Amino acid sequence: MKKQIIIKYFILLALVQFTGCMSSGEDEGVLKYQIEYDEEEKKNNSVISLLPNTMSYYFKDGSSKSMMSFIGFFLAAYISNSETKENTILFKLMNEKYYCSTKHGEPTIGFDEFPNMVLEETKETKEIMGLKAKKVHVTFKDNSLAPFDLFYTTDLNVENPNWNNPYRDIKGVPLDFRVKLMGISMHITLREVKFEEVKFEEFSIPEGYNKTTPEELYKTIKGILQNSGK
């Protein structure tokens, strides 16, 4: 009898440890994305050639950070901190460094809005880099943009994953999607997943960044991305 109890105890312990490992993998890690730009837009805006071709997405215990950077010249990061309940945007161009922070739910800036967008959830799923991806068909009432499909996952523990993009109604992390940043089109697709430890410092504001308002930061980014390409 004692032997059976001991065996059951070790089986239960093994299951708890296994479940803990699975939960840890879903609660923190790093996603690597590829960014593609529109070829026609490249011809008319030379600044696009200076923008990054990859994006890193860090997540831990509900917090998230998406970051695009280019050899120390350019950096744009969007941080959602689940502990402080703040959204923060970092922007760096050479030696100029700015940030703005708002509480969750307050107006801020991010990727461009998509007016007249219609999101149609489907029952279709597929696997993207080991994650279960759900398909959403995206159309526009005014036909301003061509229809496309978006894929997202609910496998990751991230609060408020789409606060900085037009897909706020989607309750999951996008894996294959399209956005615009100050009119610049981007097709962003997942290329790598690593379930590994992420330090909480990733979701803090680095030293050397000057605080500004969302309105002023918007003007700064717009001036650089739009006027520099003319």
**What is the tens place of the pLDDT at every residue in 76-94?**
999 999 999 999 999 998 8
pLDDT at 226: 73
What is the average pLDDT score of the chain? 88
pLDDT at 230: 53
The 10s digit of each residue's pLDDT in 185-195 is: 999 999 999 99
User: Which residue carries 């696009």 as its tokens?
Assistant: 48
Let me know if domain 28-227 sits in CATH 2.160.20: no
Percentage of the chain beyond pLDDT 70 is 87
Q: Give the pLDDT of residue 26.
A: 74
**2 pLDDT above the threshold of 70:** no
Read off the pTM: 0.85
120-150: pLDDT as tens digits? 999 999 999 999 999 999 999 999 999 999 9
Mean pLDDT value of segment 31-54: 95
Q: Which long-range contacts (CB under 8 A, 24 or more apart) does 114-121 make?
A: 114/140, 114/145, 114/166, 114/180, 115/142, 115/144, 116/140, 116/141, 116/142, 116/144, 117/166, 119/150, 119/167, 119/169, 119/170
- Residue 229's pLDDT band, with cuts at 50, 70 and 90, is low
